[in-house]
Chains A and B, each alone.
Chain A
Amino acid sequence: MLGLLAWRNLWRMPRRTIIILISIIIGTWGMVFMKTLMTGLMHQMIESSIRTLTGHVQVHRTGFFNDPSIDYTMDSVRDITRKLQGLPENVYWTQRVRVPGVVSNARNSAGIVIVGIVPEDEARVSFIGSAVAEGQYLTNEDEYGILIGESLARKFETEPGKKLVLTSQDREGRIASGGFRITGIFRAETDETEEHFAFILLPSAQRMLKMGDAVSELCFMAPNMDQVPPLRQWLQSRIGNDTYEVMSWKELLPLITSTLEIWDGFIYIWYAILFVAMAFGLVNTMLIAVYERFRELGVLRAIGMKSRWIITQITIEAVWLLIIGIVLGDLLTLAAVQWLVHAGGINLSAYAASAEQLGFPKIIFPVFKVTELIVPNALVLFLGIVVNLYPAFKAGGIAPVQAMTHN
């Protein structure tokens, strides 16, 4: 009954209702749309870092993470891999050598990370398997084959078939170098990645660096993000000890993890600011609605409506307003997201250098998740009801006689 009354009251003054609705809709849209952009951006950043050799979980010698040099290698790989019996079948993993080195040709040199890979295992774990744009991906026969990034190839003015020399430090601390022939050129999301890594076969790396069959790291990919914590725990119980540490992507990418936390904090500040901006309009509108109906409310009181019913009725009016505004705001966001995805995302290529520096993808796609509506929507609804208590109690406190004679 009160709900119906409140609903009718709203539409007695459609213009006022619509104006305040617009401000709630835009407020909700501002909150939710920002969140979808952040979710999308974060999702893409994490995804691309994980695919760029980080993986979901890594195992390496304790100390390697802080000082990724050849001093920290995993020596008894066979003993370790034996312990992987019972690993779920849908978890893929690979082993790698990863050391800092220098790549050079007749006229150029550059610092680089040399990565020794097992081609077919690597392809299931990281980006490189599907990133070769020119020439071929490595096969087990390419003993002297090397994959380099497009940006590096451009700087070195080189192409598939040409030679490159890799130099690094071997296990005994001596300078080791070897000649390789470019098998393929890969393309990555950023120029930085293209200039940062060069891939050769695992046995070639081990031979050049006199490592025997030692490796630098084991890298695991779970079927999805939810499986990462159990996988990490399983590996920890099997392999983790003082010598070997097991780390998930959250630990391996501390900068992304802390960015994530800061953005989470930022979004709440943003919610708060938009809500306060909305609240002024909301309270004012409800106040006006109350004062305009001074006489009417006085009559209701005089014929016996209790003051708390009036408070309830005004509150329900506000709840109706909030709910309609929130739902329409969410729908508007959904439409905006759909449209943006359809239009090809927010393209930052004009700001490629900045995207690179920030670690952003070049094209950002917003991601609309229904679960992420809960917090901003609940916030608006709850706080909206709270600030509306002021006009509601004003209305509840009206003295009948005074109100009926009021003009």
Chain B
Amino acid sequence: MSINTKIAWRNIWRNKRRSLLTISAILFASSLLIFSISLQFSSYDTMIDAAVKRHTGHLQVQADGYNKDKKIRLVVEFPMQVIQAIQDLPLISAISRRANSFCLVSSDRRTYGIWVVGVDVAREKEVTTIFQVIRKGSYLENENGYEAIIGTILAKNLAVDVGDELVLLGQGLDGSIAASVVRVRGIFSTGQPDFDRSSLQMPLKTFQETFSMGDSVHELVVITKDLDKLPALAQAVRERLRSSFPSDSLQVLTWQDLLPGLDQSIQVDMVSGWINYSILVIIVAFGIMNTFVMSVMERTREFGMLLSLGMRPGQVVKLVLLESTFMSLLGIFFGIIGGCLLTYYFQVHGFEIPGAGDIMAQWGMPSRMWPRLSLISILMGPAVILMVTLVMAVFPVLRIFRLEPAKALRAV
């Protein structure tokens, strides 16, 4: 330990109370930031995961224009060839096929107009979690079966139960009237009211037959092994499609394209989060700056003496900055420990915002929240605070350069 370090360390503890308060301010802000950022990021992941696992998958291949218009004639004509062309890409963990059509769905007593989805029974379990939330009956089994699973709210609205029949009435690919009778095999509840109100899924083969679609589908739904490498995967799929099907106008869409609302909401939330954090950091920064200013003013006489003894102003400044750095680092260090402990506690136990259940459900989120620590969430907040406090420490010490030893010695 050099002599400077030793002196700086001792100087901090000459005024214990003030140093402790300053350190606590830094500690408080750092732990709070760690907790909030961990919570923020984990809730984004939960939101994306919930939406992706229920509706869209990470990536979809569709006919050009389908995402915007959802016209039944905009199909992927040879889905199996497309699957073959891309399935060996290492980042892909599963691919499923789907087709959609708007239909009138009637029970004995009620009729509703909703979007009916045909799903690849064998592969669908690898891309969605719906089969895990079947509350009554069971998931689709037979690829050719005239059966369907529906959401709980839809079941209630249609006044049907497992085993009841539903009549579907819509328009086929060729413009003909498409009609079919399916039996309710299962009723699921995702907890997301919009989805549970308007979802009916049936086997793809049956769907294709009913709507005269041949082998064509509307969406190829892809799940990736690594969400962080999604852009690279999208690019790879695009290239494969371009070389294998140069004449087809196929489109590769990521979940951001498919759910623009979700992606933008995350961005809006991030921006408002950063504004809140900045306000917090600025308030703490001014508090800290005040301590630094005071400690420099108070010690005018001491600095005068050091200067008279032959220390150069630069050395004194270095000493004082070393003190501030020590304090900041101490605050950050204990802040990281405190923040991690706090966050870890809730990461294990979770917590609930009372009364927020309905709103969270709307977002497809569980009512209990679990923050999750990551390297970024641990380091980002404290790093910003460290930078800000160090900048704040620089202003007051500039005064030392202007001190005249003789005058400073006589200062009160």
Q: Which of A246-272 contact B (CB under 8 A)?
A: 254-255, 258-259, 261-262, 265, 270
Given the complex, which residues of B lie within 8 Å of A130, measured CB to CB? none
A348 within 8 A of B: yes
Cα separation A35 to B284 with both chains bound (whole Å) = 20
Q: Is the CB of B355 within 8 A of A102?
A: no
Instruction: Give the CA-CA distance A14 to B355 in the complex, in Å.
Output: 48
Contact of B261 among A109, A276, A353 (CB under 8 A): A353
Contact B283 A284, beta carbon cutoff 8 Å: no
Interface secondary structure of B, over-half rule: helix
A residues within 8 A CB of B171? 109
Q: A276-317: which have CB < 8 Å to B?
A: 276-278, 280-285, 287-288, 292
Residue contact B264 to A353, C-beta cutoff 8 Å: yes
Given the known interface contacts A19-B289, A273-B280, the answer about A255 and B359 at a Cβ–Cβ threshold of 8 Å is yes
Chain B residues closer than 8 Å to A167, beta-carbon distance? 104, 113
Q: Which residue of B lies closest to A173 (CB)?
A: B109
Measured CB to CB, the closest approach of chain A to B391, in angstroms, equals 15
A284: min CB distance to chain B, Å:
5
Whether, in the assembled complex, B260 has its beta carbon less than 8 Å from a beta carbon of chain A, the answer is yes
Contact A102 B280 (CB under 8 A): no
Candidates B110, B282, B298; contact of A169 at CB < 8 Å: B110
- Docked-complex contact B298 and A288, CB < 8 angstroms: yes
A23 contacts across to B, CB distance below 8 A = 283, 286-287, 290
Q: Which residue of A lies closest to B21 (CB)?
A: A284
B287 touches A16 (CB 8 A): no
Nearest A residue to B104, CB-CB: A102
* Chain B residue total in the interface (Cβ 8 A): 57
Question: Cβ of A112 and Cβ of B18 under 8 Å apart?
Answer: no
List chain A residues, Cβ under 8 A from B279.
26, 30, 274
A284 engages B157 (CB within 8 Å): no
Nearest-Cβ distance from residue B330 to partner chain A, whole angstroms: 14
Q: Does B340 touch A at the CB level, under 8 Å?
A: no
Chain B positions within 8 Å of A101 at CB level: 113
List residues of chain B with CB within 8 A of the CB of A288. Answer: 18, 290-291, 294, 298
Q: Contact at B25–A280, with CB atoms within 8 Å? A: yes
Given contacts A274-B279, A351-B264, contact A283 B113 (CB under 8 A): no
Known contacts: A23-B290, A288-B18, A288-B294. The answer to whether A354 contacts B265 by CB under 8 A is yes
A371 adjacent to chain B (CB < 8 Å) = no
Q: By the criterion CB–CB under 8 Å, are A155 and B111 in contact?
A: no
**Any B CB within 8 A of the CB of A160:** no
| Also in contact, A110 and B102, with CB within 8 A (given A254-B358, A283-B21) | yes
Q: How many residues of A contact B (CB 8 A)?
A: 59
Q: A67-B156, A67-B157, A277-B283 are in contact. Are A287 and B113 (CB under 8 A)?
A: no
Q: Roughly how many angstroms separate A353 CA and B256 CA in the complex, as a whole number?
A: 11
A19's partner among B69, B261, B280, B286 (CB-CB below 8 A) is B286
CB of A142 closer than 8 Å to a CB of B: no
Within 8 Å of chain B (Cβ to Cβ): is A224? no
- Kindly list chain A residues whose C-beta atoms are within 8 Å of the C-beta of B112: 100, 111
Chain A contacts for B114, CB-based, 8 A: 111
- Please name all residues of chain B whose beta carbon is closer than 8 Å to the beta carbon of A69 when the two chains form the complex: 110, 157
Q: Does B356 contact A (CB under 8 A)?
A: yes
Chain B residues contacting A292 (CB-CB under 8 Å) are: 294, 298
Of the candidates A19, A100, A111, A262, the one whose C-beta lies within 8 Å of that of B353 is A262
CA distance in complex: A270, B276 (Å) = 9
Q: Does B83 contact A (CB under 8 A)?
A: no
Indicate if the CB atoms of B286 and A281 lie closer than 8 Å. yes
A189 at the interface (CB under 8 A from B): no
Minimum CB–CB distance for A270 against chain B, Å: 7
Tell me, in angstroms, the Cα distance from A69 to B113 when the chains sit together: 13
**Cβ proximity bits B95-106 to A, threshold 8 Å, 1 near / 0 not:** 000000010101
Query: CB-CB < 8 A to A110: which residues of B?
Result: 102, 113
Residues of A within 8 A of B276 (CB): 34, 270
Residue A168 interfacial (CB < 8 Å): yes
Tell me whether B283 and A111 are in contact (CB under 8 A). Answer: no
- If A277-B280, A281-B286 touch, whether A102 touches B113 (CB-CB below 8 Å) is yes
Q: Do the beta carbons of B293 and A287 come within 8 Å of each other?
A: no
Closest A residue by C-beta to B285: A23
Taking CB atoms, residues of chain A closer than 8 Å to B359 are 255, 258-259, 262
A96 to B106, CA, bound (A): 25
A100–B25 Cα gap in the complex (Å)?
57
Provide the residues of chain B in CB contact with A285, threshold 8 Å.
287, 290-291, 294
Complex Cα–Cα for A273 and B31 (A): 12
Q: Which of B111, B113, B353 contacts A112 (CB 8 A)?
A: B113
Measured between beta carbons, the chain A residues less than 8 angstroms from B18 are 284, 287-288
Q: Kindly provide the distance from the CB of B73 to the nearest chain A CB, expressed in whole angstroms.
A: 9
- Rounded to whole angstroms, the CA-CA distance of A111 and B198 in the bound complex is 10
Within 8 A of A (CB), among B10-25: 17-18, 21-22, 24-25
Q: Chain A residues near B264 (CB, 8 Å)? A: 351-355, 357
B187 CB-CB contact with A under 8 Å: no
Cβ of B127 under 8 Å from chain A: no
Of the candidates A26, A71, A276, A354, the one whose C-beta lies within 8 Å of that of B268 is A354
Nearest CB on B from A198, distance (A)? 12
Q: Does B267 contact A (CB under 8 A)?
A: yes
* A284 CA to B356 CA, complexed, in Å: 38
The chain B residue with its CB closest to the CB of A280 is B25
A155-B261 in contact (CB<8A)? no
Within the complex, what minimum Cβ distance (angstroms) separates A117 from chain B? 21
B261 touches A100 (CB 8 A): no
- List, in ascending order, chain A residues with CB within 8 A of B69's CB: 155
A78 within 8 A of B: no
For residues 50 through 75 of chain B, which have their beta carbon under 8 Å from a beta carbon of chain A? 69, 71
Nearest chain A CB to B100 CB, angstrom units: 13
Can you name 10 A-B pairs with beta carbons within 8 Å? A71-B109, A112-B113, A155-B69, A262-B356, A265-B355, A280-B287, A285-B291, A348-B268, A354-B261, A357-B261
Having A351-B265, A356-B261, one finds 4 other A-B pairs with CB under 8 Å, namely A169-B110, A262-B355, A292-B294, A353-B263
Which residues of B are at the interface with A, using a C-beta cutoff of 8 A? 17-18, 21-22, 24-25, 28-29, 32, 69, 71, 102, 104, 106, 108-114, 156-157, 170-171, 198, 260-265, 267-268, 276, 279-280, 282-284, 286-291, 293-294, 297-298, 353-356, 358-359, 362
10 tightest CB-CB pairs across the interface, nearest first?
A281-B287, A354-B264, A280-B25, A357-B261, A23-B286, A111-B113, A102-B113, A353-B260, A354-B265, A30-B279
